[in-house]
Structure 1
C-alpha cells in the first residue's frame, strides 16, 4: 500500500448520487482537494431524468415537501425550480373492486374502519414522539418492537383487515416491500425522521407537496458541473486499502492516495468493495443485513389530463395492484397528461420479470381500473426498475428486517479509521428521501473536516 507523504487528494468520495456530490461540494467549498468516483455512466444515483412526450419525468426521486430544508436549499443554490403537485379535484381509492372518491387525505371507508386506522395512527404517534433521533435502540420496548414486522405488530394490536391493507400500500410505496418484511422499530424510526405519518404520506403539507419540472436529476448534474473534472463516471471502486490517517482507493484504471474516504452508496452495495484490512465484523454484517427495497416507477403520457375533466386530481390508491398509488405530474391543463404510478414489493418482483410489452400492458390495464378505458390509450410509456440497477440494487431505500436495527444500527454511519459513510439510509432525518441524501453527505463532509483538522493538529 502506498504511504506517500503527499496524498493525491484530501478526500475520495465513492458514489456521485446526491449524497456523494453534496459531500464533495461541501469539502471543495472549504478548500479541500476532492475526487468523486462513480461506478455508473452518469451522476445522480437514485435520481434520473427522462423525456416522455416532450416532458421531463423523474424516474427516481421526485417529490419534496415541508421540512426537507437541505434539498430545497440545494435546489435554490443550483437554480432548480420546483412547483406544487397537482391536487385540485378529488382523490380516489380502488378498494375491494370499487372505486371510491374522497376529499382531503383520508380515504372514504366505513366508520369502523376509519376508527381503527385512527387508533393505530395515535399509537404510532405516541411511540414516535418518544424516540430519539439517531438512537432508535434506546426507545422504550425497542427489542420487542424490533422483533416484530409491521404485519405482526398490527396483528398484535388487533388491527382490522382494512388497516392491514392500507398499511400494506404504505409499505409498498414508502419502502418498496411487503409489511411482513420490515422491522416495526425501523418503520417507526423512519416515520419519526419524516416528522410523523401525516407529513410522510400527505401531498399538501407533506412529502409529496412539490416536484421539479426540470427533474430532480438536474440538481445532481449542476453539482457535478460545479465540481468539473473532480468527478469521474464509469469508474467503479473495487478496493480500498486503509490505515489510520489515510487510504488508497483503487478502480480499474487508477489508484488514489488520500487522507479520507466518503463511501456514499447504499449499505447493501458496500459489499461490492473489498476493504483491506477487512472492516470490523459488525460493519460487514450490517451491509449483508440492510437490503434495498424493490420499487418500480411507471409513467404514462396522454394527449391531455382527461381525468381532470371528471373532477379527479390523479391521486389514486389501490389494493389490487400492480400499481398501488398514482400522481398527476402533467405540466399544464391542456396537455400532455402525465400519470405517475408506483409498483412495489411482491408486485414489483413479479412485474420486473415480465418482457417490456407485457409490463406496459399490465401497467395501463391497472391505470384503466382506476381512471377508465381512456387510460389504455397512452401516447408514450416508460418504466424504471430500480432493482435491476446493478450499482444501486433497488430502492427507494433500505428494508431492514427484524432484529437488525438493535444489533447493528449503531454502526450504520460510524466511521472506520479514515472511512466515513454517507447515503440517504445513514441520515437521521428524512432517510430514504433526497433530503436525507443531502443531509447525510453534508454530515459526512463535516466528519471528514474534523478528522482532517485533527491530523494537522
Structure 2
C-alpha cells in the first residue's frame, strides 16, 4: 500500500466536492488538494449522456438537470466557467390527471394546476398554512422554530391527513413529495419538509418553472460539465477516480485517509458524499453520536429518470407544453413529465418514476416499464407518442456510490435532536454535499454552496489570514451556534379537519371569489382558468 501527503483531501468528485477543491486552490494556490472518487467518472449525481436523436446524437442530463436565477451559487459558477443556460419550455397546455380512479383528464395554461373547485379552495388554504409555517423556520437552526419537536414528530402525510379534505389534493401533494424528494410523504419529517422548502424560498419555488423557481433553466450541453470543467481547473492530476475511501483516522495533528491501495496524510478532509454513503466509511476515533445517528437515519430517495427522443416535438404542434401531472396507477409508471427538447432542437420528453411507485415499477422488466410509459404518453398526448426514436432510463438506486436520488431526507425525530451534526466539523473532518446546504438544499446550487462553505471552514482553521473578516465572523457564528432547547409543544392541531372547519373555509373562499369578481380583480381570472 502506497503512502503520500497533501494539504487537504476532498472525498467525492461531484459538484460539491469540486466546489470545495476549487475554492481551496483559489485561496491557497500552493496547497496540494486531492479529490478522491469511488466512481470511474466525475459528476456525482449529475450525468450527461449522448443519446440517439432526430439528427444523429444529442446530449441529455440523466441526473440533476435544472438551475434557477434565484440559485445564486450555481449561476455564478456557470458564468465563471463560461457556460450558458436555456429556458425550460413551458408554453402551451399542461395536462393534469388527479382525483381518484375516475378522475377526468384536464388541461390548463396557468401556473396553478387545473383543480376542481373544491380542490382549488383546499389548495389555497393548505398553501397558506405551509407558507405561514415556513416563515417561522430557521434553516441554520431548526430548533428555534416554534413547536419544533411537535412538527418533527409528525410526517408530511400526517399533516396532510389533518389539513387536506380532497382526494385530488392528497394525490397532488403526494406526487410533489415523490418528485422533489423521491420518497412518500409518510416517510418524511414534516419539519424537514418545511426546512427544505424554506431553503428554496417557499414551497411553490420547488414545484414551478416560473422565473426564480427550481425548473427555470437547463444548462446547455448538460450539468456534468460543471464538474468536468472544475476538474480541469483543479488539475486532473489531483483527481483520483476509482479510489473509494474506506477509512478516515485522525488525531490532533493530522488525518489519514485510506483507500484500498493507498494512505494519504493531510491537514483536513472534506467529506462530500451523500450521508448514507459517508456512513460506510470507518472513522477512528468514532464520530460523535449525533453524526452517527444522522448518517444512519437519513434514507435516500428512489428515483428513475427517463428520456424519450422523437423525430419532432409533436406536442408543441398540438399546443401542449409537454408537462403532464399524472396520478399513481397500475398503468402509468411516471408522475410527471416535461419537454426536454435540447438547445440544438432535438425533440424529447423527460419524466420521473419515483418513491414507492418507482420501487414497484423498477421490480419489473425494462420492456414492460417502457411499454407502460409509452402507452401512458399515448393516452395523454396522442398516437404520435408511440413513434419515438429512443428510450433511455437511469435508475439511480443502482448507481454505485450514489445508491439513490435525488436527495437524502430526514425521518421524524431526527432533525430536532441531531441536526447539529449535519454541518458541524468533527475535529479535522468537515462536511459538505447538497444535504448540508442552507440555500437550495438538495439542488445543484446547494451542492456548490455547501462545498464552498466547507472550504472556508478549513481555511479558517488552517490559514485564517486568507479570509475576509466577514468570512471569519460567519464561520465563528456557525461554529458557536449551540443547539436550542426544545420548544414547548403547543400550537399544532392534533385532530383531523372537522366538517365545521371545512364549511368555514369554503364559506370564506366563496366570499373571497365573489368579492374578486364584483371588484373585477384580475386574480379572479387566474382562479377561473383552473375551474
TM category (shorter chain) comes to over 0.9
After superposition, the Cα gap between the structure-2 partners of 1:332 and 1:290, relative to the gap in structure 1 and judged at 3 Å, is closer
- Whole-angstrom CA distance in 1 between matches of 2:270 and 2:165: 43
SS at match of 1:250: strand
Contact 1:413 1:421 in 2 (8 A): yes
Aligned length: 451
1:393 aligns with 2:390: no
Which residue of structure 1 lines up, in the alignment, with residue 74 of structure 2? 71
Contact 2:122 2:164 in 1 (8 A): no
- Whole-angstrom CA distance in 1 between matches of 2:459 and 2:106: 54
- Whole-angstrom CA distance in 1 between matches of 2:144 and 2:377: 43
Which residue of structure 1 lines up, in the alignment, with residue 20 of structure 2? 23
- Whole-angstrom CA distance in 2 between matches of 1:309 and 1:246: 63
- Whole-angstrom CA distance in 2 between matches of 1:348 and 1:162: 20
State the 4+ residue runs in structure 1 displaced beyond 4 angstroms: none
Contact 2:118 2:166 in 1 (8 A): no
Which residue of structure 2 lines up, in the alignment, with residue 33 of structure 1? 32
Q: CA deviation at 1:339?
A: 0.1
Contact 2:126 2:164 in 1 (8 A): no
TM-score normalised according to structure 2 size:
0.82
Contact 1:56 1:213 in 2 (8 A): no
Which residue of structure 2 lines up, in the alignment, with residue 213 of structure 1? 220
- Whole-angstrom CA distance in 2 between matches of 1:362 and 1:243: 55
TM-score normalised according to structure 1 size:
0.95
Contact 1:9 1:256 in 2 (8 A): yes
SS at match of 1:323: coil
Which residue of structure 1 lines up, in the alignment, with residue 333 of structure 2? 322
- Whole-angstrom CA distance in 1 between matches of 2:87 and 2:251: 48
SS at match of 1:395: coil
Alpha-carbon displacement from aligned partner over 1:122-166 (angstroms, at most 9, x marks no partner):
111111111122111221111111111111111122432222111
Contact 2:97 2:327 in 1 (8 A): yes
SS at match of 2:376: helix
Larger CA Rg, structure 1 vs 2: 2
**Structure 2 counterparts to residues 175-254 of structure 1, below 5 A:** 175-205=181-211, 206-228=213-235, 229-254=237-262
Q: CA deviation at 1:373?
A: 2.6
Which residue of structure 1 lines up, in the alignment, with residue 490 of structure 2? none
**Structure 2 counterparts to residues 248-287 of structure 1, below 5 A:** 248-287=256-295
- Whole-angstrom CA distance in 1 between matches of 2:165 and 2:157: 10
**Structure 2 counterparts to residues 119-134 of structure 1, below 5 A:** 119-134=125-140
- Whole-angstrom CA distance in 2 between matches of 1:410 and 1:284: 12
- Whole-angstrom CA distance in 2 between matches of 1:158 and 1:253: 55
Single out whichever of 299-308 and 128-137 deviates more from structure 2.
Answer: 128-137
**Long gaps (5+) in structure 2:** 467-531
Contact 1:283 1:412 in 2 (8 A): yes
Which residue of structure 1 lines up, in the alignment, with residue 347 of structure 2? 337
- Whole-angstrom CA distance in 1 between matches of 2:117 and 2:291: 48
Q: CA deviation at 1:425?
A: 0.1
The partner residue of 2:362 within 352, 357, 360 is 352
Contact 1:245 1:455 in 2 (8 A): no
Single out whichever of 371-380 and 175-184 deviates more from structure 2.
Answer: 371-380
Contact 1:323 1:367 in 2 (8 A): no
- Whole-angstrom CA distance in 1 between matches of 2:46 and 2:244: 18
Contact 2:152 2:413 in 1 (8 A): yes
1:146 aligns with 2:121: no
Which residue of structure 2 lines up, in the alignment, with residue 47 of structure 1? 46
The partner residue of 1:289 within 261, 281, 297 is 297
- Whole-angstrom CA distance in 2 between matches of 1:380 and 1:454: 53
Alpha-carbon displacement from aligned partner over 1:215-266 (angstroms, at most 9, x marks no partner):
0001111111112211111110011111123201011121110000000011
- Whole-angstrom CA distance in 1 between matches of 2:406 and 2:376: 22
- Whole-angstrom CA distance in 1 between matches of 2:126 and 2:279: 37
Which residue of structure 2 lines up, in the alignment, with residue 436 of structure 1? 446
1:11 aligns with 2:8: yes
After superposition, the Cα gap between the structure-2 partners of 1:92 and 1:425, relative to the gap in structure 1 and judged at 3 Å, is same
Single out whichever of 276-285 and 234-243 deviates more from structure 2.
Answer: 276-285
1:306 aligns with 2:309: no
SS at match of 1:101: strand
Alpha-carbon displacement from aligned partner over 1:363-386 (angstroms, at most 9, x marks no partner):
222322322232122110110111
Alpha-carbon displacement from aligned partner over 1:385-433 (angstroms, at most 9, x marks no partner):
1111120111101121111111111111110000000000000110100
Contact 2:69 2:75 in 1 (8 A): no
**Structure 2 counterparts to residues 369-384 of structure 1, below 5 A:** 369-384=379-394
1:98 aligns with 2:108: no
Which residue of structure 1 lines up, in the alignment, with residue 472 of structure 2? none
SS at match of 1:88: coil
**Long gaps (5+) in structure 1:** none
Q: CA deviation at 1:34?
A: 0.4
Which residue of structure 2 lines up, in the alignment, with residue 165 of structure 1? 171
Q: CA deviation at 1:359?
A: 2.6
Contact 2:155 2:185 in 1 (8 A): yes
Single out whichever of 51-60 and 356-365 deviates more from structure 2.
Answer: 356-365
